[in-house]
Amino acid sequence: MNDRAPIFKTSQLEAADAPPRNMTANPTMGELISARFSRRGFLRGSLAVSAIAATVSPLALLTARDAKAAGGSAFSFPEVEAGIDETHHVAEGYDADILLRWGDGLFPDAPEFDPTAQTAEARARQFGYNNDYVGYIPFEDSSEHGLLVVNHEYTNPHLMFPGIVTLAEGEMTLNPLSKEQVDIELAAHGGTIVEIQKTDGKWAVVKDGALNRRITVNTEMEVTGPAAGHARLQTVADPSGKKVFGTINNCAGGVTPRGTYVMAEENIHGYFAGELPADHPEAANYDRLGIPEGSYEWANFYDRFDVSKEPNEPNRFGYIVEVDVMDPNSIPKKRTALGRFKHEGAESIVNKDGRVVFYLGDDERFDYVYKFVTTGKFNPDDRAANMDLLDEGTLYVAKFEEDGTIARLPLVQGEGPLTEANGFASRSRRRHRHPPCRRSARRHQDGPPRRHPAERCQRQGLCHVDQQHQAHRRAGGRRQPDR
């Protein structure tokens, strides 16, 4: 019998257990940190160590381990004993209450959750699956009454649907999903907007809240900004290139200064199947993103997720989606000015000059971090005037130096390497393409027209950002040992 735990496709997608897609020779963040700091003086204090652990290489963490041993923990509460059981353990002096669970009703008419009798219609009225970003938008600055906004990033069909996994000769197998089960997955993705209130020290859902709403893969959305209407976003179902249904793999997110909810579309590649000819205009673009990866079975029932039938559909995902939570009938907007990549992070501030600044990251291992600065200024006295701030501005990619400084390189059409000769004929091309990296010296010299803007800035010394997993380094896609 095989004692190894099976790895199901949707779980493997989120574990990012695949070769990285960026083949440039730029140094990683971990390599820059290792080059700058000595083993003795790298970091001091456990908080700094834990904060950096998800973003740097094993080599840099070796130095951090020494610093942690020399210092002491800044936490003072009693440690919770490690272990796994049916109880949610918290430290002494703290408590934890269940506010919402998968399948809990969000509306007065929402049916009770029954995992053995799920329907897509019921799922659209219930709390979604696999929470990621969680935010709070207060009513009148109240810390006890407001809106909870939650991303539902992905689904695990082997856990969702009883009986779909079979065991034969010691091997577990996920049986094919039916259309009804795929429709349930579509409804379980997206986000939740729900009113919550604290009474007598306990939080509860307000099911009859006027602003309660589910965002799903079937929710109509508008494409805005420089890529809106571009030919490469046009499909059979949407010849305008401006109307998209749904958002997928919403990982991180944020709440903007104007009180809107933003959702980051991350690992979009796993939702598409099919095959494109090698000479197809989108083939190089999709190869850079790992499309089609095929973890989900949606293409079996919906042509738009099959790139051989609808080759432009993936270009309609990979954005920051903004939702006006104060209008339950509003159409969410995909803000293409903030770039198209595997978005992780969408935190914003109001700069001293009144412009709004967003900080963004690409969750693909060994890719880049960005910021976006709006052209217009935030008006705290006129909410309506702020609603389309994210359609005009400048996207910057970060350049990290060994001396600890950071330069922000503007990704502006016609400036630096982002020229028509290098394949960036328009702002829309720069915004919605996540083209291939330089895979070989030959391509480096030939200069193919579809490239990631950040990679075109490679000569200016960009570095890659180490993501959550450090075992991969680029060597023809091979896994290398930690150094």
Give the separation between CA 376 and CA 447, rounded to whole angstroms: 35
CA 198 → CA 159, 201, 234, 290, 387, distances in Å?
32, 6, 46, 44, 29
- How many Cα neighbours within 13 Å face the side chain of 272? 25
Give the separation between CA 334 and CA 155, rounded to whole angstroms: 22
Chain centroid to CA 434: 15
Q: For residue range 283-317, what is the model confidence (pLDDT) as tens digits?
A: 999 999 999 999 999 999 999 999 999 999 999 99
pLDDT of 76: 74
Q: Quick check: 267 and 273 in contact, CB under 8 A?
A: no
- Token pair of 157, please? 């069909």
Amino acid identity for residue 143 in this structure: S
Q: Quick check: 327 and 261 in contact, CB under 8 A?
A: no
In terms of C-beta density within 10 A (0-12 exposed, 13-18 middle, 19 or more buried), how is residue 403 classed? exposed
Q: How many helices (H) does the chain have, and how many strands (E)?
A: 11, 18
pTM: 0.82
Going along 324-392, which residue ranges are E strands? 333-335, 343-350, 355-362, 369-377
The SS3 call for residue 323 is: strand
Q: Quick check: 262 and 254 in contact, CB under 8 A?
A: yes
pLDDT of 28: 85
Q: Quick check: 203 and 35 in contact, CB under 8 A?
A: no
CA 142 → CA 22, 147, 179, 194, distances in Å?
45, 10, 43, 15
Give the separation between CA 471 and CA 323, rounded to whole angstroms: 37
Q: What sign does the dihedral 53-58-63-67 (CA atoms) show?
A: positive
- Token pair of 208, please? 């009859």
Give the separation between CA 317 and CA 263, rounded to whole angstroms: 12
CA 179 → CA 120, 188, 426, 457, distances in Å?
10, 14, 40, 45
Going along 102-170, which residue ranges are E strands? 131-138, 145-152, 165-168
Residue where the block lists tokens 């749904």? 246
**Dihedrals phi, psi of 33, to nearest 5 degrees:** -65, -45
pLDDT of 41: 52
Instruction: Please compute Rg for the chain using Cα positions.
Output: 23
- Residues 276, 282, 285, 289: what is their CA dihedral angle, to the nearest 10 degrees? -40
pLDDT of 157: 96
* Ranges of residues in the chain whose predicted pLDDT is under 70: 1-6, 16-18, 38-75, 426-483
